[in-house]
Structure formats: structure tokens, C-alpha cells
């Protein structure tokens, strides 16, 4: 392998590693979401969940940039998979998956599994 090939391969390797770590992180967040769901049914609020978590525009404004992009996209779609969000934001699916899971943990979104797919949505009804 010549030098050029090496230098082009290296960043790719790093990116693959990052994606791998993200996937692992996502698995852990998924477990947290499950734990949080159980706490909710026992009427306990997890320490990570915000007390008044509604995805309104003032909340969007105060969010960090990376989460705002994801949150705004889900506002437009109302219900979507991480892949559908990634299509629109032009970011990697694993990245969107991590951000969406974070928004679930914070209490802004709900997550629902249908077969192999996970759908994220804004729960407007229970938030009245």
C-alpha cells in the first residue's frame, strides 16, 4: 500500500470506529430509555427528564445546534425513523439515532418499536 492510499484510508478507519462507538452508545441509551419507561409507569421521573419538556419554538431556540437540527426535522415529519431524519439532515443514521435517543431521554420525544423499525414522534396528546 503506498503512502497516498494509507493517508486516504486512515480517516475512513477513524470514521468507521466512530460509527461503531456510536452504535454501542445507542444500545446503551436504548437501555436507559427502557429503564426510564419503567420509572414513568411507577410515577417516578428520571433525573435526566426535564420537568416541562415540550418541543416548542423557545425550547428549540435554547437547544444546542446539533440537537436543534434533529428536533426541527422531527417537528416537520411528526413521526419518523432515524433513517428518514438522516435523509433530510444529510447526517449519518447512527448520528441521528443518537440525537433522537437523547431527545427521548430528555422527554421531548417518544419512541415506539414496530417490528425491526423504531419510530420517533412528538407526543402531543399526553402533553396537554
Q: Which residue, 38 or 78, has its beta carbon nearer to other proteins?
A: 78
* For helices 82-89 and 93-105, angle between their N-to-C axes, nearest 10 degrees: 120
> Site for other proteins (CB under 8 A): which residue of 15, 75, 83, 117?
75
Q: What is the DSSP letter of 1?
A: -
Closest distance to other proteins from the beta carbon of 120 (Å) = 15
**DSSP letters for 101-117:** HHHHHTTS-EEEEETTE
Tell me how far the alpha carbon of residue 56 is from its chain's centroid: 17
Closest distance to other proteins from the beta carbon of 87 (Å) = 17
Alpha-carbon span 19 to 71, nearest angstrom:
21
Alpha-carbon span 97 to 120, nearest angstrom:
10
Stretch 105-124: interaction string toward other proteins, x if CB under 8 A: -----------------x-x
Q: Which residue, 26 or 88, has its beta carbon nearer to other proteins?
A: 88
> Site for other proteins (CB under 8 A): which residue of 25, 29, 67, 72?
72
Residues that bind other proteins (CB under 8 A): 52, 54-61, 65, 68-69, 72, 75-76, 78, 122, 124, 127-128
Amino acid at each position: 500500500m503506498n503512502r497516498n492510499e494509507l493517508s486516504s484510508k486512515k480517516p475512513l478507519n477513524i470514521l468507521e470506529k466512530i460509527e461503531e462507538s456510536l452504535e454501542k452508545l445507542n444500545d446503551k441509551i436504548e437501555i436507559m430509555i427502557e429503564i426510564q419507561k419503567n420509572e414513568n409507569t411507577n410515577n417516578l421521573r428520571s433525573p435526566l427528564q426535564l420537568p416541562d419538556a415540550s418541543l416548542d419554538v423557545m425550547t428549540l431556540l435554547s437547544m444546542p445546534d446539533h440537537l436543534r437540527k434533529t428536533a426541527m426535522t422531527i417537528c416537520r415529519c411528526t413521526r419518523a425513523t432515524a433513517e428518514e431524519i438522516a435523509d433530510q439532515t444529510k447526517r449519518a443514521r447512527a448520528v441521528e439515532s443518537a440525537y433522537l435517543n437523547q431527545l427521548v431521554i430528555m422527554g421531548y420525544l417518544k419512541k415506539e418499536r414496530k417490528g425491526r423499525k423504531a419510530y420517533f414522534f412528538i407526543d402531543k396528546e399526553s402533553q396537554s
